[in-house]
């Protein structure tokens, strides 16, 4: 993988119905480009990784902890590690947003194009 690239270099994976993800990752941080299409609802969940989202287009209902709001282009959502959050597409327009995660989410590397960052973690933990 080149260090200067475009999203065109990364495969799109439909990882749940109506949710399309592209992923790029370094060793400690990761970014995804997500498209919601066809009335997507993501139920309440949480994860270890901190998450920052930037909405590029479309509208979402979002819940982060106790805060709930409808968000659109330019909205930023900051989701601390372990916080419950949920999303629902509002309207018929595709929703496009970008997410950054730290630490990286290894399960998101399905379809990843480039070196597997977990190999460096494994190498660092080998004796000798």
pLDDT band at 110 (very low <50, low <70, confident <90, very high): low
* pLDDT(99) > 60: yes
Looking at residue 124, the DSSP 8-state letter turns out to be H
Q: What is the pLDDT of residue 80?
A: 98
Q: Is the peptide bond before 71 cis (omega within 30 degrees of 0)?
A: no
For 108, the 3-state DSSP assignment is: helix
Report pLDDT digits (tens) over 11-39: 898 888 899 999 998 889 999 999 999 99
Q: What is the pLDDT of residue 120?
A: 46
Report pLDDT digits (tens) over 34-92: 999 999 999 999 999 999 999 999 999 999 999 999 999 999 999 999 999 999 999 99
- C-alpha span between 78 and 107 (Å, rounded): 21
Q: Which residue has the tokens 């399960």?
A: 107
> Can you give the residue ranges of every domain in the chain?
7-125
Task: Supply the CATH classification number for the domain 7-125.
Answer: 2.60.120.10
- C-alpha span between 62 and 91 (Å, rounded): 14
Q: What is the pLDDT of residue 94?
A: 98
Q: Do 31 and 100 contact (CB within 8 A), yes or no?
A: yes
């Amino acid at each position: 993988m080149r260090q200067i690239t475009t999203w065109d270099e990364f495969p799109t994976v439909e990882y749940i119905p109506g949710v399309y993800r592209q992923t790029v990752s370094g060793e400690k941080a990761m970014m995804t480009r997500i498209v919601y299409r066809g009335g997507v609802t993501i139920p309440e969940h949480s994860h270890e990784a901190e998450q920052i989202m930037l909405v590029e287009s479309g509208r979402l209902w979002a819940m982060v902890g106790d805060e709930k709001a409808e968000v659109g282009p330019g909205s930023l959502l900051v989701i601390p590690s372990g916080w419950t959050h949920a999303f629902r597409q509002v309207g018929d327009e595709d929703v496009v947003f970008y997410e950054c995660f730290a630490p990286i989410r290894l399960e998101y590397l399905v379809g990843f194009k480039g070196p597997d960052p977990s190999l460096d973690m494994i190498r660092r933990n080998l004796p000798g």
